Structures are given as C-alpha cells and as structure tokens.
Amino acid sequence: MKFLMQGIEIDTTKVKYKPVLEDVLLMVTKTYYPDIKLSKVEYDFDEKKNSVILTFYRETKYHLLGDIKDVDAKLITGLPEDVFYPTPGKNYFFLLGYADGYYIEQKDIKDEFISCQAIEDVKDVCFSTSDSYLKIMIYGK
C-alpha cells in the first residue's frame, strides 16, 4: 500500500525502521503546522490486516468530536490553507465555526484523502480525534 503524508510517499512494503519514519513525520509536521504543538508521531503497520495507524500526539482543543478541526484537516490532506477558507472563484470546504475553531465533516476529508493522498491499494481511511491525539487509520485492499 502506498499513500502520501506531509508530501512524503509511504510505501508499507519498504518501511523497515519505524523510528526514522516517525521522526521525519514529526519534524516535517512540526515545521508545517507549529500551531498543532505536536509532541510525537507513531507509525503502526499490521501486515495481516494490511492497515496503517498513524497517531499524531498533540495539543489541539476539540469541542466538536466527530468532525475534523481545520488544523488537523490540513495535516491529513496536505492542502494549503486557502482551500479551507472561502475565496471568491475557488473551491473550498464547508466549515462549521464553533468555539475557538472551524470544523469539517469527516466524509469530506476522507474523500479528499482517497482522491489525492492515496497512491496504490488504499481501500479506506478513518479518523479518530481527541484533545491529545489525531489517529489516521488507513486500510489497504
């Protein structure tokens, strides 16, 4: 299975040393998204299930669990900020403003990931969020 995360192509058949990938994802994500206050990244590949769980440990206050906060949506999709906010003449996501942030439906982010970040043999993607982590679960064919 192959997919993109933070512009890095991850091929599950070629990842031999998890800590290096985790460190690279941590460094790149901290550089692109300093507001997320990322502390750790974990990569877990289950060969039998052909699935990957990427866990990003961070401090991002959530008020609407179930939807994806805009900062996490940027991390998942790799899209630039202007895609998430209304700009005349451009396509953008529907955002729901609530408390201290903006939220996007998980389905919209899932569709975007599958169409743009999935390279080979990706069947499905799911997300789990809390105030302390973002989990991206990617399932292969």
| 45 pLDDT more than 70 | yes
Q: Which pTM value belongs to this model?
A: 0.85
Quick one: pLDDT band at residue 52, thresholds 50, 70, 90?
A: very high
Nearest to 62 by CA among 10, 115, 133, 137: 133
pLDDT digits (tens, 9 = 90+) for 105-141: 888 889 888 988 899 999 999 999 888 899 999 999 9
> How many other CB atoms sit within 10 Å of the CB of residue 33?
18
Domain that holds residue 23: 2-140
Residue 62 to residue 66: CA distance in whole angstroms: 10
The count of structural domains within the chain is: 1
| 27 pLDDT more than 70 | yes
- The better pLDDT of the pair 7, 65 is held by 7
Name the strands in the sheet holding 118-120, side by side, starting at the edge strand that comes first in the sequence.
8-11, 2-5, 118-120
What is the end-to-end Cα distance of the chain in Å, rounded?
Answer: 8
- The better pLDDT of the pair 54, 84 is held by 54
pLDDT digits (tens, 9 = 90+) for 70-82: 888 888 888 777 6
Q: pLDDT above 70 covers what percent of the chain?
A: 84
Residue 38 to residue 57: CA distance in whole angstroms: 6
